[in-house]
Structure 1
Amino acid sequence: MLFSMGFACYGSNKTQEYKKLVTGIVDENGRPNVSDIFLVLSFLDRQGVRVRMRGYYKKFYKLVDDIWEETLHLRGSNIVSKENNDALDSILDLIEDDSSQFSCGDVIYLFIDLFVAGTDTTPSKLEWTMAELIRNPEKMVNVRTKLQHVLGNKNNTLNLEETMSSKLTYLQAIQKETLHLHPPVPYLLPCKAICDVELCGFLVPKNAQIFVNVWAMGRDPTIWDKPNSFIPKRFLESEIDFKANDFKFIPFGVGRRMCPGLPLASRVLPFMLASLTYHFDWKVPDGLKLEDMDMSQNYGILLHKAQPLRAVPVKM
């Protein structure tokens, strides 16, 4: 989508390098760092976080810069037409405008941010969704039944189009319920108070750094009924959506700092889920009991399963 290139070829050296860089940056961002607590020690970099991050970003910059230079060469030689229209082409069209204030460095770091922020979050959420459906087989059956009802297929084929997304209400409810229990980012991006403000009887001083714990909000019994249970039905019976019209459910943030990937994620994930559940039932391997599935969480900047999901597809 960004570069009209595939980065998911298992045997590709570039894919493996890219995966290593993304994983390294995400892990370092989520690693507790004494310099964040005691700022007077920040120049020491006692845990080596700054050195490792500088190495990751240097390699990532080179990777994206190579793609940038190759695209510029192809556009200049007219090998690729401007109608290609991926994200990089759109940005280059803006840069060619005389009034543009974009620079090469700005764009490369923008794409690095998009890569890192958009890569790990989607598969993590899909993994949590599949884990919850496997643990709740009646919900898996409901997904398949609802899809068959919406699509009305007689030949057992899955032909989904984006215009159908509004009809996939049960899939959307499952998506919301997974975000309620397992938000990809347990703490929203930090904010800063621009002045002293009183909130719920507490004084938040000017320049204080503020973290919103959306994971804790989703597990709060004063906010949710049976907060630790996987109940997609709760979203079928309410008008709560992803757009922060209710502050008890803000997995993508709110206001100007809302995640820019929301429109893409809310469209792509239901289709991925439909593809995985429509033709296959899923079982846990090695005789494992559903109640014994490991659902523990690995906390960091992203909320991963501590143990990757292992499941066996069974053809329907």
Structure 2
Amino acid sequence: MLIVSMDTSSTTVDWVFSELLRHPKVMKKLQNELLEYLDMVIKEVFRLHPIAPLLIPHESVEDCTIDGFDIPKSSRILVNVWAIGRDPEVWSEPEKFVPERFVGSNIDLRGRDFQLLPFGSGRRSCPGLQLGLTIVRLMLAQLVHCFDWKLPNGMMPNDIDMTEKFGLVTTRAQHLMAIPTCRC
């Protein structure tokens, strides 16, 4: 569990920083409102960039019908979390990075709300949820609170390559480079 949480946690931080560097106003707001705003930023990154885009397969225990689709007993079901996070019927402007969409929202990361399932749901949810979130929150809080960040070589925020490299864990295709400056 520790090894898995390290890989997924570092990948999550990479995606968060990519989005923060692409959206400098969000970065400044996060630095000023760290405690209140951090969870909204993390939820928005999990919505746009789920670390595991397909949940582990589930198997139906009985025949059922969902939204007019007949699902026979013993069918294997793959839940596409990536598509749910970008569904325009669920999210307004789904391709945009807008952490404020979670202001006053009861949507959580534990899978109770089926529009956001970064850790799965129910009995088959990720057992490392709490450890992973703790690592991500601590790492991000320290990096954002202690440093100002800028892009190298006159690079502009829109120049950041957000191409995904598909695998068991969806990472960025290109490494992110940023220059920290102490906020002392």
Q: Could you state the TM-score of these two structures normalised by the residue count of structure 2?
A: 0.94
From 120, 125, 137, the counterpart of 2:12: 125
Shift of 1:309: 0.9
Greater percentage in helix: 1
Contact kept, 8 Å, 2:10 with 2:136, in 1: the verdict is no
Shift of 1:169: 2.4
User: Root-mean-square deviation (CA), in Å?
Assistant: 1.3
2:133, 2:39 → 1: CA distance? 8
1:212 equivalent in structure 2: 79
2:135, 2:2 → 1: CA distance? 16
The answer to whether structure 1 residue 194 and structure 2 residue 78 are counterparts is no
Identity %: 42
2:112, 2:74 → 1: CA distance? 27
Shift of 1:299: 1.1
Amino acid at match of 1:244: G
Shift of 1:217: 0.4
Shift of 1:265: 2.0
Shift of 1:116: 4.6
Secondary structure in 2 matching 1:244 = coil
Secondary structure in 2 matching 1:198 = strand
The answer to whether structure 1 residue 183 and structure 2 residue 70 are counterparts is no
2:24, 2:103 → 1: CA distance? 19
CA shift digits 1:224-265 (9 cap, x unpaired) = 011111111111231111122311111111111111111122
Contact kept, 8 Å, 2:9 with 2:135, in 1: the verdict is no
Return 5+ residue gaps in structure 1 as ranges.
Answer: 1-113, 148-167
Q: Cα gap change, 1:117/1:279 in structure 2, threshold over 3 Å: closer, same or farther?
A: closer
The answer to whether structure 1 residue 265 and structure 2 residue 132 are counterparts is yes
- The aligned runs of 1:35-54 (5 Å cut-off) are none
2:115 equivalent in structure 1: 248
From 74, 83, 103, the counterpart of 1:236: 103
Highest RCO, 1 vs 2 (Cα 8 Å, sep ≥ 6)? 2
2:30 equivalent in structure 1: 143
Secondary structure in 2 matching 1:120 = helix
1:117, 1:207 → 2: CA distance? 29
Amino acid at match of 2:80: N
Contact kept, 8 Å, 1:284 with 1:290, in 2: the verdict is yes
CA shift digits 1:183-241 (9 cap, x unpaired) = 11000111111222211111112222110000000011111011111111111231111
1:226 equivalent in structure 2: 93
The answer to whether structure 1 residue 288 and structure 2 residue 155 are counterparts is yes
Contact kept, 8 Å, 1:192 with 1:210, in 2: the verdict is yes
Shift of 1:305: 0.4
Q: Which runs of 4+ in 1 moved over 3 A?
A: none
CA shift digits 1:100-155 (9 cap, x unpaired) = xxxxxxxxxxxxxx2453231110000000110011111111111114xxxxxxxx
Amino acid at match of 1:206: K
Contact kept, 8 Å, 1:282 with 1:313, in 2: the verdict is yes
Shift of 1:284: 1.3
Aligned residues: 183
2:37 equivalent in structure 1: 170
Contact kept, 8 Å, 2:112 with 2:121, in 1: the verdict is no
1:299, 1:221 → 2: CA distance? 23
Q: Could you state the TM-score of these two structures normalised by the residue count of structure 1?
A: 0.56
Amino acid at match of 2:14: E
Return 5+ residue gaps in structure 2 as ranges.
Answer: none
Greater percentage in strand: 2
Which one has a bigger Cα radius of gyration?
Answer: 1
Contact kept, 8 Å, 1:284 with 1:310, in 2: the verdict is yes
